[in-house]
Amino acid sequence: MTKNDTKGLHYPAPIRYTLSGVDKYWEESMGDDLSVFQDMLKSEELSLHEIAMKMCHYSTFITVLNLLGLNATSENNGLLLNFLGYLRWKWTNSPLFEVDDELNTLLQHSDIGTHCPCHYFRLPYSQMYIEFGKKRNMDIELQLSPGDRYPIEGVMLSERLISPHQLQLPDSVKLKLKITQDNIRYFEIAVTGSPIGRASRSSDSIKTIPIIITNEDESVETLVDRHMKYMSSPRNDITPMTDYDFNFYKTIIEHLAKVLLYLNSSAKRTEYYPDRTDVLNKIKVTKSKSKQAKLERKAQRVVDRYIVSSHWRRGHFRNQSYGVGRANHKVIWILPTLIGAGDIGIKDYEVKS
């Protein structure tokens, strides 16, 4: 894998990993066990954590982990889960959603409210990457150590339906889960910190967050509070959480919740740009070897993506009639309005089946 390339520092994590050859490295290193590995990652029933545990029975997998300095059995295995999330994203041709800067700022300064059920905390795709704007302007940064902070660029997301027996008992007890349904929605979230301003595009940072939903009617607010109490509680296998980390995780989970609520609302506005598909189609009809090579390099740094934006009616002035018989007039200012937005989670939300 190429590690010291300074090109593409501004690209989101999935594109940086592709440019660095992460997927090619795993494909070449897994040998005869590659098909088993890929089948597990493409499964709709296995979480990334379960895949890491199952693959530990394969010597090729352990060899790759040792070469990369990764550990599958440690609770602090966020970097491995992030790589697995990327490989699942890559090998299943999953989409990238880019929240535009205006909407990202708007959502940061919006309240979730107390009436949003977890039913709306739902991914449009079981594996996807969400980029939180191009300007990397989140209100909080990802901190690895005091003074070592990274602008947040987005999250790699995986959602799977699992059965109650797939949950680790200590986690379910500490999370105070009430198992009221046969299928539990299990999220694995890898937050990526941008390498902008660093020496190379591999100088990014990762923090992972699990989210478990066992009650679709529970409010998102309660879901966040319960997970934060669990993550900040004393645990023998995890370094105690700092105040900064507590605020970081809470901010990220809440912001992700607002993005997902918006994506599941009638107010959403998304446009699809098949950039990579277009390049691949050009490669098929191009006869020049040099042009093909140029297009193949371009295909590594573009993806099919959805641009997520807000649909605002611009602010404007109006000559307003008033008084008896509406005979008088005055100029008033009409504030900008988000078209189609209603009360979150109550009447104006339609969720994809």
DSSP per position, 182-194: SSEEEEEEEEEE-
Amino acid identity for residue 203 in this structure: S
pLDDT tens digit sequence for 114-136 = 677 888 889 999 999 999 999 99
Q: Is the per-residue pLDDT at 158 higher than 90?
A: yes
Q: Is the per-residue pLDDT at 264 higher than 50?
A: yes
Segment 221-234 mean pLDDT: 81
pLDDT score of 224: 85
The pTM assigned to this predicted structure is 0.83
Pairing mode, strands 304-309 and 96-99: parallel
pLDDT tens digit sequence for 310-332 = 766 666 667 788 888 888 877 77
DSSP 200-228: STT--EEEEEEEEE--TTSBHHHHHHHHH
pLDDT tens digit sequence for 161-220 = 888 777 664 454 455 666 655 678 999 999 999 999 898 888 899 998 889 888 888 888
Q: Is the per-residue pLDDT at 293 higher than 80?
A: yes
Segment 272-292 mean pLDDT: 94
pLDDT bin (cut points 50, 70, 90) of residue 351 is very low
Q: Is the per-residue pLDDT at 344 higher than 50?
A: no
Percent of the chain residues topping a pLDDT of 90: 44
Question: How far is residue 116's CA from residue 111's CA, in Å, rounded to a whole number?
Answer: 11
DSSP classification of residue 153: E
Q: Is the per-residue pLDDT at 349 higher than 60?
A: no
The closest of 279, 196, 277 to 16, measured between CA atoms, is 196
pLDDT score of 315: 62
Q: Is the per-residue pLDDT at 291 higher than 90?
A: yes
pLDDT score of 322: 81
pLDDT score of 335: 62
pLDDT bin (cut points 50, 70, 90) of residue 37 is very high
